[in-house]
Structure 1
């Protein structure tokens, strides 16, 4: 709506009270839910569909900016994730880059995700080869 300063001011006030940082440029669908939101970050070009649930310390962020042949950073690209409908992203998960999490998927706690996830997927926490436990 063109009121970028006001939007950013309101976002900063909300962040100081909740620990949740949602860029005002993010697109968020209905029935969006954040549980125990401290440490949640949602980047500017993030797209979140309907009925998406996030838990504490989830990052929906960008990877580094690309550069041109002269080394200057290229800005303006959509660099944040797309979460389709009916997604759950558990505590501590980090999703980076313009990746798509397909409808009905679940992303486990502490997962580091930098690739697309097909619809209906369950991405578990990494399994350690040395201890046999999830870490």
Structure 2
């Protein structure tokens, strides 16, 4: 099974930024642990702060991978283009958010991409990525 985790803007700062919201573990540390816990999965990881690069990656992998776990970061609430990219591909996408977007500022309550995803996991910290993996494995 080939799965890619795609993270959007500012998620390269996990472990450094707003530790009370996002924790103190870097994504790279978490990702290494996830890979060792699930050796049966061929994982790839991609992160960009640039909207167009995220769209290009979705297009690149969206017809050949078994699943995509997407945390679009702040683009979740603003990017019609990322929503359209998710709608245009065949690979199932699980939307993940580390924090509970519904417990944050009101403008974060709306996700423009959820309607084009298999589902959304929000508020469970980094464990949300593994929850997304479990869904994709059972699909």
> TM-score scaled by structure 1?
0.27
Q: Which structure is richer in relative contact order (CA contacts within 8 A, separation 6 or more)? A: 2
* Structure whose alpha-carbon radius of gyration is higher: 1
Name whichever structure is richer in helix by fraction: 2
- TM-score using structure 2 length: 0.27
